[in-house]
């Protein structure tokens, strides 16, 4: 069977360089977990990797693990103090190497009152919009991003809709809404 | 009439040579760039994009693109629905090629559940996905043509698209948003007559393409608007995360169907068309060639599709037959549990990608073992292109926004989700 | 002139009925297309379905020149002020058709981002349900609007 994902055996040099990196494998796909302090080094490493240069940043997204008790995450149960847990959010990067047709997924955690991680815009221009989207949806700040503002929601919007503590029906209308059954104009 | 000498660097020849024009004395009384607001309600902006352009003369010196006018909260809603009832939301991502979105989503779920789909289902999905891609490219090409003033190809394309959509309607009951895929199969099997008629429709499309090539390919007006406009280099395109026909027009032969074959794409013969310069014309031509390749794949699928069951044996994820539900207690319970609780996959996370009509369409799924996705993220191909479009447009003229934006084929539902 | 001749050459009618008849066949539309339904609307406006039969084939991309606002697609909270502004710019008499489930009621997008029906932003005359509606249904909606115009009091 063809291989499309970089598994542990393919990248011994990565684990030499990042001995603290966690690694799990699910459904034939790797989950490489590193602390967020190592991100700059990691971006350098993958962008200029000799064998599998990751020239395309496919996607960045985040997962809010508030009120969850699975995966490798600590038990966050939605209590008040969990709102500012240091490991509340996972930021998930998908990289793709066009020349060698290999992919890898890297995960890092952040949290606290003002979660922030390093922006990858200096390495990949693709980060421009997707990091803005993650900021918009999760409120995770990307340091060194040139223009971190909302992209999908509007500027007046308060809160970050994809966080688990944001209600599904938390509408914030920009115009005064009519009541179609009463008003007649 | 001018009584002063124009400095050499502002001579029009010099200006045209430079891509980045920052200062020009012809900007008007204040020498300030003029801000022009384009969209979101503008015929060329497809209703869902706002662009704020700063103009010096007719040249765009700065551009701010603001998507999000069709952000419908799809990801958040899917976190609150079972896996089965989240399916219709995927239809409305890229609503012109809903089959591809459907099959991408159930493909991710099948990988999660570990379900092997049957041969017939696999061939049928390949056929439908490719026909869907044809309609998507038709829509894009039609929009390009009509936006730069060529109404005839628009009407031709719409007519051809209508035939295919009506044909889908026969199979799935809807012209556009099908919700046809099921975990481990499809909603209902295609009949022999359906396949024969599909073949007929596809063959009828070949003379249409010839007509369009005749109308547009060497049309002087068309060439002037398309050639050398909106160029992007290979390296920039890769760095900006651009995929799909947009990337292939720059000469990078990256296609998920070839790079990471799913369904039956490794068992049919087809080519990956690539462009050379990465300009509007190349994107137009790559799409035209892709339509031809898709027709080729479809015809092979119709010939090769085997007889047999279309649904895999997966009662834990697939709704049972209606006859079973109404006559047996097991079927009824199975149906009830699937509808109320949803199918329960193992815990874990995965990324599954398919080649959407605009590029790599990825589904990143986090499952906590319950019947609802803990997180469903869609990697939208046109969103990333929109992130890079301002750099492509800057330096061009105001009127060039429309063909450049047209060749992106921005689909609001998928870009903003 | 004899009385017979006059009756042959003159039609007597009410002012309202006459103006309503004229207005119902000159609906210049402003297509506020945002989402999936707009793709279906492309089919409607092309040759196969031919809205010219109803005098409604002329899309005007300026709200000041149009009589009928067609809301074709989802209206999100981000889009709502834009829709409101477009509607305010239209000259009287103006008619609004909401095409598709999202424009009618928010559809199945019951969440933080979507306005639950375009009629919560501006008044709507005709609702066309469907997700998306078939072209025939949109034509039916236009005919329903014509009927409504013909039977209503006309202000000048």
ipTM of the complex: 0.88
**B176 φ, ψ (degrees, to nearest 5):** -130, -45
Distance between C108 CA and the closest CA of chain B, angstroms: 9
Sign of CA dihedral B5, B6, B12, B16: positive
What is the model's pLDDT at position B8? Answer: 62
- What is the helix (H) or strand (E) element at residue C149, kind and residue range? helix C135-150
Tokens 């009584």, residue located: B3
Q: What is the mean pLDDT of chain B?
A: 84
Return the residue of C nearest to B73 by Cα: C113
Token output for C130: 């469907």
Which residue among A61, A64, A125 sits closest to B240, beta carbon to beta carbon? Answer: A125
Q: Which of B50, B67, B73, B385 to mutate to test the interface with A (most CBs of A within 10 A)?
A: B73
**B186 φ, ψ (degrees, to nearest 5):** -135, 170
Token output for B158: 């719409």
Evaluate whether residue B374 is within a structural domain: yes
Q: How many Cα atoms within 13 Å fall on the side-chain side of residue A126? A: 29
At residue C47, the 3 state secondary structure works out as coil
Per-residue pLDDT at B376 exceeds 70 = yes
Q: How far is CA B255 from CA A101, A126, B265, B270, in A?
A: 11, 18, 11, 12
Q: Which positions in chain A touch C124 (Cβ < 8 Å)? A: 180
Token output for B90: 């995927």
Q: A-C interface: how many C-beta pairs under 8 angstroms?
A: 47
**B239 φ, ψ (degrees, to nearest 5):** -65, -30
Which residue among A61, A68, A71 sits closest to B364, beta carbon to beta carbon? Answer: A61
Share of chain B above pLDDT 70, in %: 92
Token output for A122: 């200096």
Q: Do A153 and C120 touch (CB under 8 A)?
A: no
Do residues B240 and B364 share a domain?
Answer: yes
Q: CB neighbours of B30 closer than 8 A, spacing ≥ 6?
A: none
Which residue among C32, C131, C134 sits closest to B47, beta carbon to beta carbon? Answer: C32
Per-residue pLDDT at B199 exceeds 50 = yes
Provide the domain count of chain A.
1
At residue B5, the 3 state secondary structure works out as coil
Q: Which positions in chain C touch A172 (Cβ < 8 Å)? A: 77, 112
Per-residue pLDDT at C16 exceeds 60 = yes
With a CB-CB cutoff of 8 Å, which residues 106-145 of chain B face chain A?
111-112
**Which chains form contacts with chain C, at 3 or more CB pairs under 8 Å?**
A, B
Return the residue of C nearest to A160 by Cα: C112
Per-residue pLDDT at B265 exceeds 80 = yes
What is the model's pLDDT at position B31? Answer: 59
What is the model's pLDDT at position A79? Answer: 62
Q: Which positions in chain A touch B254 (Cβ < 8 Å)? A: 98
With an 8 Å Cβ cutoff, is C91 touching chain B? no
Do residues B233 and B97 share a domain?
Answer: yes
What are the counts of helices (DSSP H) followed by strands (DSSP E) for chain A? 3, 7
Distance between A19 CA and the closest CA of chain B, angstroms: 23
With an 8 Å Cβ cutoff, is B152 touching chain C? no
With an 8 Å Cβ cutoff, is C79 touching chain B? yes
The matching CATH number, chosen from 3.40.190.10, 3.10.129.10, 3.30.70.1400, 3.40.50.12280, for C12-150 is 3.40.50.12280
Q: Provide the domain limits for residue A93.
A: 8-143
Average pLDDT over residues B330-339: 87
Q: Do B239 and A130 touch (CB under 8 A)?
A: no
Q: Do A58 and B241 touch (CB under 8 A)?
A: yes
Do residues B44 and B119 share a domain?
Answer: no
With a CB-CB cutoff of 8 Å, which residues 83-122 of chain C face chain A?
84, 110-113, 115, 117, 119-122
pLDDT tens over chain A, length 185 residues: 568 888 888 888 888 888 888 888 888 888 888 888 888 888 888 888 888 888 888 889 998 887 666 655 655 555 666 676 777 888 999 999 888 888 888 888 888 788 889 888 888 888 888 898 899 888 898 888 888 888 888 888 888 888 888 888 888 888 888 887 776 55
With a CB-CB cutoff of 8 Å, which residues 60-89 of chain C face chain A?
77-78, 80-81, 84
Which residue among C81, C112, C117 sits closest to A169, beta carbon to beta carbon? Answer: C112
Average pLDDT over residues B393-400: 84
What is the model's pLDDT at position B17? Answer: 61
With an 8 Å Cβ cutoff, is B47 touching chain C? yes
Token output for B10: 């502002």
Q: How far apart are CA A120 and CA A56, in angstroms?
A: 12
Which tens digits make up the pLDDT trace of B222-260? 888 888 888 888 888 888 888 889 889 888 888 888 888
What is the model's pLDDT at position A177? Answer: 84
Confidence bin at B134 (pLDDT 50/70/90): very high
Do residues B254 and B209 share a domain?
Answer: yes
What distance lies between CA B41 and its chain's CA centroid?
Answer: 22
With a CB-CB cutoff of 8 Å, which residues 82-141 of chain B face chain C?
88-89, 92, 95-96, 139
Residue A20 belongs to a domain with what CATH number? 3.30.460.80
Evaluate whether residue B1 is within a structural domain: no
Order of strands, edge to edge, in the sheet holding B348-355?
A: B348-355, B360-367, B373-379
Query: Which of B32, B47, B66 is at the close of a domain?
Result: B66
Average pLDDT over residues B275-293: 89
Evaluate whether residue A54 is within a structural domain: yes
Provide the domain count of chain B.
2
Distance between C45 CA and the closest CA of chain B, angstroms: 9
Indicate the burial class of B63 (C-beta count within 10 angstroms; 0-12, 13-18, 19 or more): buried
Return the residue of A nearest to C120 by Cα: A178
Return the residue of A nearest to B259 by Cα: A101
Q: Do A166 and C112 touch (CB under 8 A)?
A: yes
Q: Do A178 and C117 touch (CB under 8 A)?
A: no
Q: Provide the domain limits for residue B407.
A: 74-416
Do residues B39 and B86 share a domain?
Answer: no
What is the model's pLDDT at position A19? Answer: 81
Distance between C25 CA and the closest CA of chain B, angstroms: 24
Q: Do B351 and A29 touch (CB under 8 A)?
A: yes
Evaluate whether residue A91 is within a structural domain: yes
Do residues B83 and B45 share a domain?
Answer: no
Which tens digits make up the pLDDT trace of B26-71? 545 555 778 888 878 877 777 688 888 888 778 888 888 888 888 8
Evaluate whether residue B241 is within a structural domain: yes
Which residue among A166, A171, A183 sits closest to C77, beta carbon to beta carbon? Answer: A171
Share of chain C above pLDDT 90, in %: 5
Which residue among A171, A175, A179 sits closest to C112, beta carbon to beta carbon? Answer: A171
What is the model's pLDDT at position B1? Answer: 38
Per-domain boundaries in chain C:
12-150
CA angle B269, B275, B278 (to 5 degrees): 145
Do residues B85 and B108 share a domain?
Answer: yes
Residue B188 belongs to a domain with what CATH number? 1.10.645.10
Return the residue of A nearest to C84 by Cα: A175
């Amino acid at each position: 069977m063809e291989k499309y994902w970089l598994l542990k055996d393919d990248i011994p040099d990565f684990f030499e360089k990042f001995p603290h990196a966690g690694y799990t494998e699910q459904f034939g796909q790797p989950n490489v977990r590193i602390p967020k302090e190592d991100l700059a080094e990691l971006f350098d490493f993958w962008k200029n990797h000799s064998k599998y240069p990751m020239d395309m940043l496919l996607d960045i997204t985040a997962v809010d693990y508030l009120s969850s008790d699975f995966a490798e995450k600590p038990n966050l149960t939605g209590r008040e103090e969990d709102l500012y847990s240091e490991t509340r959010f996972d930021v998930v990067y998908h990289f793709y190497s066009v020349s060698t047709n290999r992919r890898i997924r890297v995960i890092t955690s952040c949290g606290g009152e003002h979660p922030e991680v390093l922006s990858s815009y200096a390495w990949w221009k693709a980060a421009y919009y997707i990091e803005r989207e993650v900021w918009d949806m999760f409120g995770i700040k990307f340091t060194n991003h040139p223009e971190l503002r909302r992209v999908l929601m509007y500027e007046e919007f308060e809160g970050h809709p994809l966080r688990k503590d944001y209600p599904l029906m938390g509408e914030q209308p920009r115009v005064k809404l009519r009541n179609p059954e009463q008003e007649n104009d | 009439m001018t009584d002063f000498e124009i400095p050499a660097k502002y001579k029009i020849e010099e200006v045209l040579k430079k891509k980045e024009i920052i200062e020009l004395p012809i900007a008007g009384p204040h020498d300030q760039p003029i801000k022009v607001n384009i969209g979101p309600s503008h015929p060329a902006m497809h209703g869902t994009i706002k662009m704020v352009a700063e103009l010096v003369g007719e040249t765009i010196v700065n551009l701010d693109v603001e998507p999000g006018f069709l952000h419908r909260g799809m990801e958040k809603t899917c976190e609150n629905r079972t896996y089965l009832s989240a399916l219709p939301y995927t239809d409305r991502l890229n609503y012109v090629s809903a089959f591809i979105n459907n099959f991408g989503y159930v493909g991710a779920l099948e990988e999660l559940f570990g379900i092997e789909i049957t041969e017939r289902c696999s061939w049928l999905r390949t056929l439908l996905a490719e026909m869907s891609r044809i309609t998507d490219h038709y829509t894009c090409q039609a929009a390009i043509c009509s936006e730069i003033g060529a109404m005839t190809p628009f009407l031709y394309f719409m007519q051809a698209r209508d035939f295919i959509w009506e044909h889908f309607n026969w199979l799935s009951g809807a012209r556009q948003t099908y919700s046809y895929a099921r975990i481990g199969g499809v909603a209902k099997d295609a009949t022999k007559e359906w396949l024969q008629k599909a073949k007929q429709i596809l063959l009828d499309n070949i003379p249409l393409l010839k007509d369009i090539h005749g109308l547009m390919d060497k049309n002087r007006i068309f060439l002037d608007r398309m050639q050398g406009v909106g160029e992007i280099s290979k390296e920039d395109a890769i760095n900006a995360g651009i995929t799909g026909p947009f990337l292939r027009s720059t000469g990078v032969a990256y296609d998920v169907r070839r790079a990471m074959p799913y369904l039956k794409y490794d068992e049919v013969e087809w080519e990956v068309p690539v462009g050379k310069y990465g300009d509007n014309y190349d994107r137009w031509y790559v799409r035209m060639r892709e339509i031809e390749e898709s027709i080729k794949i479809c015809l092979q699928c119709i010939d090769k599709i085997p007889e047999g069951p279309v649904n895999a044996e997966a009662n834990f994820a697939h709704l049972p037959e209606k006859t079973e539900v109404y006559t047996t207690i097991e079927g009824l319970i199975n149906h009830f549990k699937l509808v109320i609780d949803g199918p329960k996959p193992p815990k874990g996370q995965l990324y599954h990608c398919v080649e959407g009509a605009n590029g790599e369409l990825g589904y990143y799924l986090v499952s906590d073992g319950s019947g609802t996705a803990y997180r469903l993220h869609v990697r939208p191909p046109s969103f990333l292109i929109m992130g890079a479009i301002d750099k492509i447009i800057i330096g061009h003229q105001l009127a060039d926004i429309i063909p450049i934006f047209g060749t992106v084929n921005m689909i609001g539902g998928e870009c903003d989700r | 002139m004899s009385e017979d001749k006059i009756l042959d050459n003159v039609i007597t009618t009410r002012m309202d009925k006459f103006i309503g008849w004229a207005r119902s066949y000159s609906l210049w539309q402003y297509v506020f297309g945002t989402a999936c339904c707009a793709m279906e609307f492309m089919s409607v406006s092309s040759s196969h379905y031919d809205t010219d039969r109803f005098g409604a084939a002329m899309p005007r991309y300026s709200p000041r020149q149009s009589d009928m606002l067609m809301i074709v697609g989802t209206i999100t909270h981000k889009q709502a002020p834009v829709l409101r502004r477009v509607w305010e710019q239209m000259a009287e008499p103006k008619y609004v058709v909401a095409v598709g489930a999202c424009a009618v009621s928010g559809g199945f997008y019951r969440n933080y981002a979507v306005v639950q029906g375009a009629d919560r932003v501006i008044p709507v005359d005709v609702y066309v349900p469907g997700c998306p509606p078939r072209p025939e249904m949109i034509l039916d909606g236009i005919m329903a609007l014509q009927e409504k115009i013909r039977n209503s009091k006309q202000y000048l």
